[in-house]
Amino acid sequence: MKAIQLIKYGDAHTAFQTNEVPIPQLKSSDSVLIKVQAFGINFADVMARKGLYRAAPNLPAILGYEVVGTVERVNSNFNENLIGKRVLAMTRFGGYAEYSVASSKGIIEIQDQVPNGHALALATQYCTAHLAIEKTSLFNNDFVLIHSASGGVGTALTQLAKLKNCQIIGLTTTSSKISYLKKNGVNFPIYHKNNNYTEEVLKLTKNQKITAIFNSVGGDTFKKDLELLESGGNLVFFGISERIKSRKGILNTLFQLLKIGKIHPAKLILNSQSINGLNLLEIADKKPEQIQNSLKELITLYMAKKISPVANNEFNWDQISNAHHGLENSKFVGKVYINVIKQ
């Protein structure tokens, strides 16, 4: 089969190569082989390409951990009913290929009328947002702060938080994306540079603190977000995109940790605050049923037209470098994906 392999770390235009590789084997009893129609590209893939994602496989590596496709083979009689079905799956890397393997515990059947891009957005972006919001307690008119609000997860968080009638503050470092934030339902869009957003947030809320903050940036935003968080509030981290600016190595890692700083548990207890981390890949590995349940709820919301994935960034197989480069440099809003088979 054909696969796009990461052959060296660094620039998107020199990192990838299409090679012939064996079709992956079904090793566990719950694994299924999927003929891929399309695969998504996520910021974790960009981090992996830069050599900054520890969970990524060794080179040469096949990245990608979400696919849409049809099940061609199963490893258990229990899953025979899946053969020929169109599914959405988390793949634990290995998605940039004509065939990919996934656990049947973490996949969901999807109807043919659901576009590839929408389905892939539900897999990673909306599933991340859904699980992140589950870590909070949101009520009517609560203030919610979303970093990188024009990205895939930011888009999903906005739509899901709006279902709870929250007041959304959306941050972006690209001024041209303000109109998109408003269109997506952000009540208070903020354009900022160098993470200077604290004063503007408090001005908009009239000094009221924030109930829930969703952070995919890391760095010194951690300290700033803690200062903005109300008593009883939740701070959810699901990424460290700030690291994309740094190089590999222990010194750079230590520098990033110093920027984040430290917090004493006693302070969290006194303020009844919670800090949560969310790694979708880890959940897909250890608790795939949780992914499956989340996807079922999201498909229900999607079919009821209560959420609207944005997936305008469609690329062909040979445009993988352009897709990666654009995602790394914040050129897109919504989902970025590659069509293997034209829908």
pLDDT in tens, 103-142: 888 889 999 999 999 999 999 899 999 999 999 989 999 9
Percentage, residues of the chain above pLDDT 90: 60
Contact by Cβ (8 Å): 23, 72: no
Specify the DSSP element, H or E, that contains 171: strand 167-172
State pTM to two decimals: 0.86
CA dist 3 and 143 (Å) reads: 44
Q: What is the mean pLDDT of residues 9-26?
A: 95
DSSP string of 109-126?
E--TTS-HHHHHHIIIII
Which residue in this structure is represented by tokens 């054909």? 2
Domain ranges of the chain: 2-124+281-339, 136-277
Q: What is the mean pLDDT of residues 201-226?
A: 90
32-46, 181-195, 208-222, 276-290: range with highest mean pLDDT: 32-46
Residue 258: predicted pLDDT = 56
CA dist 43 and 27 (Å) reads: 28
Lookup: tokens for 285: 């590995």
Look at the domain 136-277 and name its fold.
Rossmann fold (3.40.50)
Lookup: tokens for 311: 């997936």
CATH class of 2-124+281-339: alpha beta
The pLDDT of residue 287 is above 90: no
